[in-house]
Protein backbone atom coordinates (compact mmCIF):
# COMPACT_ATOMS: atom_id res chain seq x y z
CA UNK A 1 0.00 0.00 0.00
CA UNK A 2 2.80 2.38 0.80
CA UNK A 3 4.49 1.47 -2.47
CA UNK A 4 1.88 2.95 -4.76
CA UNK A 5 2.58 6.04 -6.80
CA UNK A 6 0.12 8.38 -5.13
CA UNK A 7 2.42 11.36 -4.81
CA UNK A 8 3.83 10.98 -8.31
CA UNK A 9 0.33 10.82 -9.70
CA UNK A 10 -0.58 13.99 -7.82
CA UNK A 11 2.45 15.68 -9.31
CA UNK A 12 1.56 14.53 -12.81
CA UNK A 13 -2.00 15.77 -12.38
CA UNK A 14 -0.99 19.18 -11.12
CA UNK A 15 1.45 19.62 -13.99
CA UNK A 16 -0.96 18.59 -16.72
CA UNK A 17 -4.31 19.82 -15.48
CA UNK A 18 -4.69 22.31 -18.34
CA UNK A 19 -4.37 19.53 -20.88
CA UNK A 20 -7.02 17.55 -19.04
CA UNK A 21 -9.30 20.52 -19.01
CA UNK A 22 -8.95 21.13 -22.75
CA UNK A 23 -9.72 17.53 -23.51
CA UNK A 24 -12.68 17.44 -21.17
CA UNK A 25 -13.94 20.74 -22.45
CA UNK A 26 -13.71 19.57 -26.06
CA UNK A 27 -15.91 16.66 -25.12
CA UNK A 28 -18.51 18.23 -22.85
CA UNK A 29 -18.30 21.78 -24.27
CA UNK A 30 -19.13 23.62 -21.12
CA UNK A 31 -16.76 25.17 -18.61
CA UNK A 32 -18.40 23.96 -15.40
CA UNK A 33 -19.08 20.49 -16.75
CA UNK A 34 -15.49 20.19 -17.96
CA UNK A 35 -14.20 21.08 -14.51
CA UNK A 36 -16.57 18.55 -12.95
CA UNK A 37 -15.26 15.88 -15.28
CA UNK A 38 -11.63 16.72 -14.47
CA UNK A 39 -12.39 16.75 -10.76
CA UNK A 40 -14.13 13.37 -10.93
CA UNK A 41 -11.29 11.91 -12.95
CA UNK A 42 -8.73 13.15 -10.41
CA UNK A 43 -10.71 11.61 -7.54
CA UNK A 44 -11.13 8.29 -9.35
CA UNK A 45 -7.49 8.15 -10.32
CA UNK A 46 -6.21 8.88 -6.83
CA UNK A 47 -8.70 6.54 -5.25
CA UNK A 48 -7.34 3.77 -7.42
CA UNK A 49 -3.73 4.87 -7.28
CA UNK A 50 -2.73 1.32 -6.45
CA UNK A 51 -4.01 0.10 -9.82
CA UNK A 52 -1.16 1.91 -11.57
CA UNK A 53 1.75 -0.49 -11.45
CA UNK A 54 4.21 1.39 -13.61
CA UNK A 55 4.48 5.12 -13.08
CA UNK A 56 5.85 5.39 -16.62
CA UNK A 57 2.36 4.58 -17.87
CA UNK A 58 0.70 7.33 -15.87
CA UNK A 59 -0.20 9.36 -18.94
CA UNK A 60 -2.19 6.66 -20.75
CA UNK A 61 -3.64 5.48 -17.46
CA UNK A 62 -4.90 8.91 -16.52
CA UNK A 63 -6.16 9.80 -20.00
CA UNK A 64 -8.12 6.61 -20.01
CA UNK A 65 -9.81 7.55 -16.76
CA UNK A 66 -10.46 11.04 -18.08
CA UNK A 67 -12.00 9.65 -21.27
CA UNK A 68 -14.24 7.34 -19.27
CA UNK A 69 -15.40 10.21 -17.10
CA UNK A 70 -16.08 12.37 -20.14
CA UNK A 71 -18.08 9.63 -21.82
CA UNK A 72 -19.98 8.89 -18.62
CA UNK A 73 -20.86 12.52 -18.37
CA UNK A 74 -22.10 12.67 -21.93
CA UNK A 75 -24.13 9.49 -21.52
CA UNK A 76 -25.76 10.77 -18.36
CA UNK A 77 -26.49 14.18 -19.78
CA UNK A 78 -27.31 13.31 -23.35
CA UNK A 79 -30.99 13.69 -22.72
CA UNK A 80 -30.67 17.18 -21.28
CA UNK A 81 -28.24 18.21 -24.00
CA UNK A 82 -30.63 17.15 -26.69
CA UNK A 83 -33.50 18.97 -25.08
CA UNK A 84 -31.62 22.14 -24.37
CA UNK A 85 -29.46 22.45 -27.44
CA UNK A 86 -31.18 20.67 -30.29
CA UNK A 87 -29.20 22.72 -32.76
CA UNK A 88 -25.91 22.82 -30.96
CA UNK A 89 -22.52 21.92 -32.29
CA UNK A 90 -23.75 18.58 -33.50
CA UNK A 91 -26.06 20.12 -36.03
CA UNK A 92 -23.63 21.10 -38.70
CA UNK A 93 -22.53 17.57 -39.46
CA UNK A 94 -25.50 17.40 -41.76
CA UNK A 95 -24.51 20.41 -43.80
CA UNK A 96 -22.66 19.15 -46.88
CA UNK A 97 -21.05 22.50 -47.55
CA UNK A 98 -19.93 22.95 -44.02
CA UNK A 99 -16.68 21.12 -44.47
CA UNK A 100 -15.57 23.56 -47.10
CA UNK A 101 -16.34 26.66 -45.13
CA UNK A 102 -15.17 26.45 -41.58
CA UNK A 103 -11.71 25.80 -40.31
CA UNK A 104 -10.61 22.34 -39.42
CA UNK A 105 -10.95 22.83 -35.67
CA UNK A 106 -14.67 23.36 -36.08
CA UNK A 107 -15.09 20.58 -38.63
CA UNK A 108 -13.52 18.05 -36.28
CA UNK A 109 -16.43 18.61 -33.94
CA UNK A 110 -18.69 17.12 -36.57
CA UNK A 111 -17.06 13.70 -36.29
CA UNK A 112 -18.09 10.94 -33.90
CA UNK A 113 -16.76 11.66 -30.40
CA UNK A 114 -14.38 8.73 -30.46
CA UNK A 115 -12.75 9.84 -33.70
CA UNK A 116 -12.50 13.41 -32.41
CA UNK A 117 -10.60 12.19 -29.40
CA UNK A 118 -8.29 10.05 -31.47
CA UNK A 119 -7.46 13.11 -33.55
CA UNK A 120 -6.87 15.26 -30.48
CA UNK A 121 -4.58 12.69 -28.91
CA UNK A 122 -2.69 12.19 -32.15
CA UNK A 123 -2.28 15.75 -33.34
CA UNK A 124 -2.76 17.95 -30.30
CA UNK A 125 -1.16 15.77 -27.65
CA UNK A 126 1.18 14.00 -30.06
CA UNK A 127 0.70 10.58 -28.55
CA UNK A 128 1.83 7.46 -30.40
CA UNK A 129 -1.00 5.44 -31.93
CA UNK A 130 -0.24 2.53 -29.64
CA UNK A 131 -0.83 4.69 -26.56
CA UNK A 132 -4.02 6.08 -28.05
CA UNK A 133 -5.18 2.52 -28.57
CA UNK A 134 -4.56 1.80 -24.89
CA UNK A 135 -6.35 4.94 -23.78
CA UNK A 136 -9.38 4.26 -25.94
CA UNK A 137 -9.43 0.56 -25.18
CA UNK A 138 -9.24 -0.25 -28.91
CA UNK A 139 -6.74 -2.28 -30.80
CA UNK A 140 -4.11 -0.53 -32.84
CA UNK A 141 -5.62 -1.35 -36.21
CA UNK A 142 -9.00 -0.04 -35.20
CA UNK A 143 -7.44 3.23 -34.10
CA UNK A 144 -5.61 3.50 -37.42
CA UNK A 145 -8.77 2.81 -39.39
CA UNK A 146 -10.80 5.31 -37.42
CA UNK A 147 -8.17 7.97 -37.74
CA UNK A 148 -7.86 7.31 -41.45
CA UNK A 149 -11.58 7.56 -42.02
CA UNK A 150 -11.80 10.64 -39.83
CA UNK A 151 -9.10 12.46 -41.72
CA UNK A 152 -10.65 11.43 -45.00
CA UNK A 153 -13.97 12.89 -43.92
CA UNK A 154 -12.18 16.08 -43.01
CA UNK A 155 -10.44 16.07 -46.37
CA UNK A 156 -7.02 16.62 -44.87
CA UNK A 157 -3.89 14.91 -46.06
CA UNK A 158 -3.19 11.49 -44.66
CA UNK A 159 -0.18 12.27 -42.64
CA UNK A 160 0.28 11.32 -39.05
CA UNK A 161 -0.67 7.72 -39.69
CA UNK A 162 2.63 6.37 -38.52
CA UNK A 163 3.82 6.22 -34.95
CA UNK B 1 -1.13 19.65 -42.52
CA UNK B 2 -1.17 23.38 -42.16
CA UNK B 3 -4.83 23.19 -41.35
CA UNK B 4 -4.11 20.69 -38.60
CA UNK B 5 -1.53 22.96 -37.06
CA UNK B 6 -3.94 25.82 -37.14
CA UNK B 7 -6.62 23.73 -35.48
CA UNK B 8 -4.10 22.70 -32.84
CA UNK B 9 -3.44 26.35 -32.08
CA UNK B 10 -7.15 26.94 -31.68
CA UNK B 11 -7.30 23.94 -29.37
CA UNK B 12 -4.45 25.19 -27.24
CA UNK B 13 -6.16 28.53 -27.08
CA UNK B 14 -9.11 27.08 -25.17
CA UNK B 15 -9.45 29.38 -22.20
CA UNK B 16 -8.56 27.76 -18.89
CA UNK B 17 -10.88 29.00 -16.13
CA UNK B 18 -9.09 30.43 -13.12
CA UNK B 19 -11.16 28.12 -10.98
CA UNK B 20 -9.60 24.99 -12.43
CA UNK B 21 -6.55 24.90 -10.20
CA UNK B 22 -8.62 25.22 -7.04
CA UNK B 23 -11.00 22.51 -8.19
CA UNK B 24 -8.16 20.12 -8.94
CA UNK B 25 -6.51 20.88 -5.58
CA UNK B 26 -9.81 20.22 -3.87
CA UNK B 27 -10.03 16.80 -5.51
CA UNK B 28 -6.45 16.01 -4.53
CA UNK B 29 -7.01 17.05 -0.92
CA UNK B 30 -10.16 15.04 -0.51
CA UNK B 31 -8.47 11.99 -2.04
CA UNK B 32 -5.57 12.44 0.33
CA UNK B 33 -7.93 12.37 3.26
CA UNK B 34 -9.76 9.32 2.02
CA UNK B 35 -6.44 7.62 1.53
CA UNK B 36 -5.33 8.40 5.07
CA UNK B 37 -8.53 6.85 6.38
CA UNK B 38 -8.16 3.83 4.15
CA UNK B 39 -4.58 3.34 5.23
CA UNK B 40 -5.50 3.31 8.88
CA UNK B 41 -8.36 0.89 8.22
CA UNK B 42 -6.15 -1.43 6.27
CA UNK B 43 -3.60 -1.37 8.98
CA UNK B 44 -6.29 -2.26 11.43
CA UNK B 45 -7.57 -5.15 9.38
CA UNK B 46 -4.05 -6.39 8.89
CA UNK B 47 -3.73 -6.67 12.66
CA UNK B 48 -7.03 -8.56 12.71
CA UNK B 49 -5.88 -11.05 10.15
CA UNK B 50 -2.59 -11.52 11.84
CA UNK B 51 -4.29 -12.00 15.15
CA UNK B 52 -6.65 -14.56 13.67
CA UNK B 53 -3.65 -16.41 12.37
CA UNK B 54 -2.22 -16.86 15.83
CA UNK B 55 -5.54 -17.73 17.43
CA UNK B 56 -4.63 -21.39 17.66
CA UNK B 57 -1.29 -20.65 19.24
CA UNK B 58 -3.04 -18.30 21.66
CA UNK B 59 -5.25 -21.10 22.99
CA UNK B 60 -2.23 -23.24 23.72
CA UNK B 61 -0.48 -20.40 25.46
CA UNK B 62 -3.50 -19.78 27.65
CA UNK B 63 -3.88 -23.38 28.71
CA UNK B 64 -0.30 -23.72 29.79
CA UNK B 65 -0.84 -20.71 31.99
CA UNK B 66 1.43 -18.10 30.53
CA UNK B 67 0.58 -14.51 31.04
CA UNK B 68 -1.79 -13.63 28.23
CA UNK B 69 -1.73 -9.95 28.97
CA UNK B 70 1.45 -9.64 27.01
CA UNK B 71 0.94 -7.54 23.93
CA UNK B 72 0.91 -10.03 21.11
CA UNK B 73 1.32 -7.65 18.30
CA UNK B 74 3.16 -4.47 18.75
CA UNK B 75 3.98 -2.57 15.68
CA UNK B 76 5.16 0.87 15.01
CA UNK B 77 3.90 2.49 11.91
CA UNK B 78 4.18 5.88 10.34
CA UNK B 79 1.27 7.54 8.71
CA UNK B 80 2.73 10.32 6.65
CA UNK B 81 0.36 13.21 6.80
CA UNK B 82 1.67 16.61 5.92
CA UNK B 83 5.11 16.23 4.54
CA UNK B 84 7.81 16.65 7.10
CA UNK B 85 6.02 19.26 9.13
CA UNK B 86 3.80 17.40 11.48
CA UNK B 87 2.69 13.83 11.68
CA UNK B 88 0.26 11.76 13.58
CA UNK B 89 1.37 8.21 13.90
CA UNK B 90 0.28 4.98 15.37
CA UNK B 91 2.65 4.60 18.28
CA UNK B 92 1.35 1.23 19.31
CA UNK B 93 -1.07 -1.12 17.67
CA UNK B 94 -1.94 -4.39 19.34
CA UNK B 95 -4.58 -6.95 19.89
CA UNK B 96 -4.70 -9.14 22.93
CA UNK B 97 -7.04 -11.22 25.05
CA UNK B 98 -7.58 -10.86 28.77
CA UNK B 99 -9.74 -13.71 30.02
CA UNK B 100 -12.76 -13.56 27.72
CA UNK B 101 -12.20 -9.96 26.75
CA UNK B 102 -10.56 -8.98 23.50
CA UNK B 103 -8.68 -5.74 23.40
CA UNK B 104 -7.85 -4.07 20.16
CA UNK B 105 -5.88 -0.87 20.33
CA UNK B 106 -4.35 1.60 18.00
CA UNK B 107 -2.72 4.29 20.07
CA UNK B 108 -1.73 7.45 18.23
CA UNK B 109 0.97 9.95 18.95
CA UNK B 110 1.97 13.17 17.27
CA UNK B 111 5.31 14.35 16.07
CA UNK B 112 5.15 18.08 15.53
CA UNK B 113 8.77 18.59 14.66
CA UNK B 114 11.45 20.60 16.37
CA UNK B 115 9.36 23.60 17.37
CA UNK B 116 6.45 21.51 18.51
CA UNK B 117 8.37 19.23 20.81
CA UNK B 118 6.73 20.42 24.02
CA UNK B 119 3.24 20.24 22.61
CA UNK B 120 3.94 16.79 21.19
CA UNK B 121 5.08 15.56 24.57
CA UNK B 122 2.08 16.98 26.32
CA UNK B 123 -0.40 15.55 23.84
CA UNK B 124 1.30 12.16 23.75
CA UNK B 125 1.42 11.94 27.52
CA UNK B 126 -2.29 12.74 27.73
CA UNK B 127 -3.18 10.14 25.12
CA UNK B 128 -1.00 7.55 26.80
CA UNK B 129 -2.61 8.18 30.15
CA UNK B 130 -6.15 8.31 28.84
CA UNK B 131 -5.91 5.14 26.76
CA UNK B 132 -4.16 3.14 29.48
CA UNK B 133 -6.71 4.22 32.05
CA UNK B 134 -9.59 3.52 29.73
CA UNK B 135 -8.32 0.07 28.97
CA UNK B 136 -7.86 -0.73 32.65
CA UNK B 137 -11.31 0.50 33.62
CA UNK B 138 -13.01 -1.16 30.68
CA UNK B 139 -11.39 -4.47 31.61
CA UNK B 140 -12.67 -4.04 35.14
CA UNK B 141 -16.16 -3.32 33.84
CA UNK B 142 -15.97 -6.44 31.68
CA UNK B 143 -15.06 -8.48 34.73
CA UNK B 144 -17.90 -6.94 36.76
CA UNK B 145 -20.28 -7.70 33.92
CA UNK B 146 -19.02 -11.28 33.85
CA UNK B 147 -19.51 -11.75 37.59
CA UNK B 148 -22.97 -10.22 37.52
CA UNK B 149 -23.86 -12.49 34.63
CA UNK B 150 -22.76 -15.62 36.49
CA UNK B 151 -24.32 -14.52 39.79
CA UNK B 152 -27.66 -14.01 38.13
CA UNK B 153 -27.71 -17.58 36.86
CA UNK B 154 -25.80 -17.35 33.59
CA UNK B 155 -23.47 -20.18 32.69
CA UNK B 156 -19.88 -19.91 31.61
CA UNK B 157 -20.86 -21.35 28.21
CA UNK B 158 -23.46 -18.66 27.72
CA UNK B 159 -20.97 -16.02 28.79
CA UNK B 160 -18.47 -17.26 26.26
CA UNK B 161 -20.97 -16.50 23.53
CA UNK B 162 -20.88 -12.84 24.40
CA UNK B 163 -18.80 -10.67 22.21
CA UNK B 164 -16.75 -8.73 24.72
CA UNK B 165 -14.41 -6.35 23.02
CA UNK B 166 -12.58 -3.21 24.00
CA UNK B 167 -11.55 -0.96 21.19
CA UNK B 168 -9.22 2.02 21.42
CA UNK B 169 -8.43 3.95 18.24
CA UNK B 170 -8.23 7.32 16.58
CA UNK B 171 -9.58 9.19 13.59
CA UNK B 172 -8.06 12.13 11.79
CA UNK B 173 -10.59 14.88 11.25
CA UNK B 174 -8.56 17.49 9.47
CA UNK B 175 -4.97 17.89 8.54
CA UNK B 176 -3.48 20.87 6.82
CA UNK B 177 -0.23 22.73 7.11
CA UNK B 178 -1.71 24.78 9.92
CA UNK B 179 -4.11 22.49 11.71
CA UNK B 180 -4.15 18.94 12.98
CA UNK B 181 -7.49 17.82 14.35
CA UNK B 182 -8.14 14.26 15.48
CA UNK B 183 -10.13 12.25 17.96
CA UNK B 184 -9.09 9.40 20.23
CA UNK B 185 -11.84 6.99 21.16
CA UNK B 186 -12.30 4.13 23.54
CA UNK B 187 -15.42 1.99 23.25
CA UNK B 188 -16.79 -1.24 24.67
CA UNK B 189 -18.86 -3.64 22.63
CA UNK B 190 -21.37 -4.30 25.41
CA UNK B 191 -22.13 -0.78 26.58
CA UNK B 192 -21.78 2.70 25.21
CA UNK B 193 -22.29 4.42 28.52
CA UNK B 194 -18.60 4.63 29.33
CA UNK B 195 -17.19 5.48 25.92
CA UNK B 196 -14.26 7.84 26.17
CA UNK B 197 -13.94 10.33 23.35
CA UNK B 198 -11.32 13.02 23.33
CA UNK B 199 -10.71 15.59 20.61
CA UNK B 200 -7.38 17.20 19.88
CA UNK B 201 -7.10 20.36 17.82
CA UNK B 202 -3.58 21.59 17.33
CA UNK B 203 -2.41 24.84 15.86
CA UNK B 204 0.72 23.84 13.98
CA UNK B 205 1.82 27.41 13.43
CA UNK B 206 1.95 28.44 17.07
CA UNK B 207 2.27 24.89 18.43
CA UNK B 208 -0.59 25.31 20.81
CA UNK B 209 -4.06 23.91 21.34
CA UNK B 210 -6.74 25.52 19.23
CA UNK B 211 -9.74 26.88 21.08
CA UNK B 212 -13.19 27.79 19.90
CA UNK B 213 -12.22 31.43 20.42
CA UNK B 214 -9.52 31.00 17.76
CA UNK B 215 -12.27 30.28 15.26
CA UNK B 216 -15.20 32.34 16.48
CA UNK B 217 -13.63 35.23 18.40
CA UNK B 218 -14.02 36.36 21.98
CA UNK B 219 -17.81 36.03 21.95
CA UNK B 220 -17.58 32.41 20.79
CA UNK B 221 -20.06 31.20 23.42
CA UNK B 222 -22.83 33.50 22.22
CA UNK B 223 -22.05 32.83 18.59
CA UNK B 224 -21.98 29.07 18.96
CA UNK B 225 -25.11 29.03 21.13
CA UNK B 226 -27.07 31.05 18.59
CA UNK B 227 -25.95 28.79 15.77
CA UNK B 228 -26.68 25.58 17.70
CA UNK B 229 -30.14 26.78 18.75
CA UNK B 230 -30.99 27.67 15.18
CA UNK B 231 -29.73 24.30 13.97
CA UNK B 232 -31.67 22.42 16.64
CA UNK B 233 -34.81 24.23 15.54
CA UNK B 234 -34.15 23.41 11.92
CA UNK B 235 -33.31 19.79 12.59
CA UNK B 236 -36.32 19.34 14.86
CA UNK B 237 -38.53 20.48 12.00
CA UNK B 238 -36.77 18.01 9.77
CA UNK B 239 -37.78 15.23 12.16
CA UNK B 240 -34.80 14.81 14.51
CA UNK B 241 -35.53 14.70 18.19
CA UNK B 242 -33.77 16.71 20.86
CA UNK B 243 -34.39 16.94 24.58
CA UNK B 244 -36.51 19.89 25.67
CA UNK B 245 -35.28 22.27 28.36
CA UNK B 246 -37.19 20.25 30.99
CA UNK B 247 -35.59 17.04 29.78
CA UNK B 248 -32.15 18.56 30.15
CA UNK B 249 -31.72 19.69 26.55
CA UNK B 250 -29.20 22.11 25.16
CA UNK B 251 -28.55 25.28 27.12
CA UNK B 252 -25.10 26.56 26.41
CA UNK B 253 -21.68 25.49 25.36
CA UNK B 254 -18.70 26.17 27.61
CA UNK B 255 -15.04 26.89 27.16
CA UNK B 256 -14.42 23.17 27.41
CA UNK B 257 -17.01 21.97 24.94
CA UNK B 258 -15.66 19.26 22.67
CA UNK B 259 -15.07 20.12 19.06
CA UNK B 260 -13.02 19.18 16.07
CA UNK B 261 -12.09 20.93 12.85
CA UNK B 262 -13.79 19.58 9.74
CA UNK B 263 -12.73 19.34 6.09
CA UNK B 264 -13.82 22.85 5.48
CA UNK B 265 -11.76 24.22 8.34
CA UNK B 266 -14.82 24.98 10.46
CA UNK B 267 -15.20 24.00 14.11
CA UNK B 268 -17.75 21.25 14.74
CA UNK B 269 -19.06 21.11 18.29
CA UNK B 270 -19.85 17.61 19.47
CA UNK B 271 -22.23 16.56 22.21
CA UNK B 272 -21.86 13.17 23.77
CA UNK B 273 -24.48 10.57 23.30
CA UNK B 274 -27.45 11.16 25.64
CA UNK B 275 -26.36 14.70 26.51
CA UNK B 276 -28.87 16.74 24.52
CA UNK B 277 -30.89 14.12 22.68
CA UNK B 278 -32.08 10.52 23.06
CA UNK B 279 -29.30 7.96 22.88
CA UNK B 280 -30.44 6.63 19.53
CA UNK B 281 -29.08 9.78 17.96
CA UNK B 282 -25.56 8.97 19.14
CA UNK B 283 -23.11 11.81 19.21
CA UNK B 284 -24.60 15.06 17.96
CA UNK B 285 -22.59 17.46 15.89
CA UNK B 286 -23.05 21.07 14.94
CA UNK B 287 -20.82 22.75 12.42
CA UNK B 288 -20.41 26.38 13.36
CA UNK B 289 -19.88 28.54 10.30
pLDDT of A157 > 70? The answer is: no
Examine the domain organization and report whether A8 and A81 are in the same domain: yes
Asked, for residue B11, whether it belongs to a domain, the answer is no
Global ipTM:
0.83
* Residue where a domain stops, chosen among A47, A69, A86: A86
Examine the domain organization and report whether A101 and A60 are in the same domain: no
By CB atoms closer than 10 A (0-12, 13-18, 19+), residue B86 is buried
**Residue-range definition of the domain harbouring residue A100:** 88-154
Examine the domain organization and report whether A54 and A107 are in the same domain: no
pLDDT tens per residue across span B95-151: 888 888 889 898 989 888 888 889 999 999 999 999 999 999 888 888 888 888 887
For the CA atoms of A28, A30, A33, A39, what is the dihedral angle to 10 degrees? 90
* Residue of higher predicted confidence among B217 and A93: B217
* Residue where a domain stops, chosen among B146, B178, B210: B210
Examine the domain organization and report whether B262 and B179 are in the same domain: no
Give the mean pLDDT of B260-268.
93
Give me the pLDDT at residue B175, please. 84
Partner-chain contact A104 B7, CB within 8 Å: yes
Confidence bin at A161 (pLDDT 50/70/90):
low
| pTM, entire model | 0.47
For the CA atoms of B115, B118, B123, B128, what is the dihedral angle to 10 degrees? 130
Give the mean pLDDT of A120-136.
93
Examine the domain organization and report whether A51 and A115 are in the same domain: no
Distance between CA atoms of residues B143 and A59, nearest Å: 58
Examine the domain organization and report whether B40 and B156 are in the same domain: yes
Asked, for residue B271, whether it belongs to a domain, the answer is yes
Asked, for residue A109, whether it belongs to a domain, the answer is yes
* Residue where a domain stops, chosen among B179, B210, B241: B210
Examine the domain organization and report whether B101 and B204 are in the same domain: yes
| Listed residue (A137, A93, A91, A94) closest to A111, CA to CA | A93
- Between residues 65 and 124 of chain A, which touch chain B (CB distance below 8 Å)? 103-105, 108, 120, 123-124
Partner-chain contact B31 A42, CB within 8 Å: yes
Examine the domain organization and report whether B95 and B199 are in the same domain: yes
Examine the domain organization and report whether A37 and A75 are in the same domain: yes
Count of domains for chain A? 2
Distance between CA atoms of residues B245 and A69, nearest Å: 51
Contact indicator for B258, B201 with CB cutoff of 8 Å: no
What's the length of chain B? Answer: 289
Task: Give the distance from residue A30's alpha carbon to the nearest chain B alpha carbon, in angstroms.
Answer: 11
Examine the domain organization and report whether A7 and A47 are in the same domain: yes
Contact indicator for B286, B233 with CB cutoff of 8 Å: no
Q: Which chain B residue lies closest to A4 (C-alpha atoms)?
A: B35
Confidence bin at B267 (pLDDT 50/70/90):
very high
Examine the domain organization and report whether A76 and A11 are in the same domain: yes
Asked, for residue B145, whether it belongs to a domain, the answer is yes
Examine the domain organization and report whether B145 and B250 are in the same domain: no
**Residue-range definition of the domain harbouring residue B43:** 24-210
Examine the domain organization and report whether A73 and A12 are in the same domain: yes
- The CATH number for B185's domain is 3.30.565.40
Q: Which of A6, A25, A39 sits opposite B27 (nearest CB)?
A: A39
Asked, for residue B74, whether it belongs to a domain, the answer is yes
Q: Is B26 on the interface with A (CB under 8 A)?
A: yes
* Residue where a domain stops, chosen among B210, B235, B263: B210
Asked, for residue A29, whether it belongs to a domain, the answer is yes
Residue A47, number of CB atoms within 10 A of its CB: 14
Q: State the SS3 of A103-137.
A: CHHHHHCCCCHHHHHHHHHHHHCCCCHHHHHHHHC
* Residue of higher predicted confidence among B68 and A97: A97
Examine the domain organization and report whether B107 and B239 are in the same domain: no
| Listed residue (B139, B138, B73, B68) closest to B106, CA to CA | B73
Distance between CA atoms of residues B182 and B174, nearest Å: 7
- The CATH number for B259's domain is 3.90.640.20
Contact indicator for B45, B39 with CB cutoff of 8 Å: no
- The CATH number for A107's domain is 1.10.10.10
Distance between CA atoms of residues A125 and B8, nearest Å: 9
Q: Which chain A residue lies closest to B17 (C-alpha atoms)?
A: A31
For the CA atoms of B122, B125, B130, B135, what is the dihedral angle to 10 degrees? 160
Examine the domain organization and report whether B108 and B217 are in the same domain: no
Q: Which of B10, B30, B39 sits opposite A105 (nearest CB)?
A: B10
Count of domains for chain B? 2
**Chain B residues close to A38, C-beta within 8 Å:** 20, 23-24, 27
Backbone angles phi, psi at B273, to 5 degrees: -50, 140
| Listed residue (B169, B172, B256, B270) closest to B220, CA to CA | B256
Amino acid sequence: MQQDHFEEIVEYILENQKKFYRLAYSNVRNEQDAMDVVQDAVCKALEHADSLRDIGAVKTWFYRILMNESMNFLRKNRRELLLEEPLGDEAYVCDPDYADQEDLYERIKGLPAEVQNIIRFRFYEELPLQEIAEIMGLNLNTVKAKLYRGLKALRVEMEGMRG
Amino acid sequence: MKELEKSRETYEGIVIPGELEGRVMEAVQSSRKKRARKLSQRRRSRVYRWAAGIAAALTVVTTIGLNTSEAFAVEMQNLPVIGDLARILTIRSYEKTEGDTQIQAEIPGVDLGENGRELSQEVNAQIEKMTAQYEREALQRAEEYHQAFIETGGTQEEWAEHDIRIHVWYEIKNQTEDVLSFVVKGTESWTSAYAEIRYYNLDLKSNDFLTLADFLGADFIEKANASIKAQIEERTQAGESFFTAEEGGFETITEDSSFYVNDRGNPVIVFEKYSIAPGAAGEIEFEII
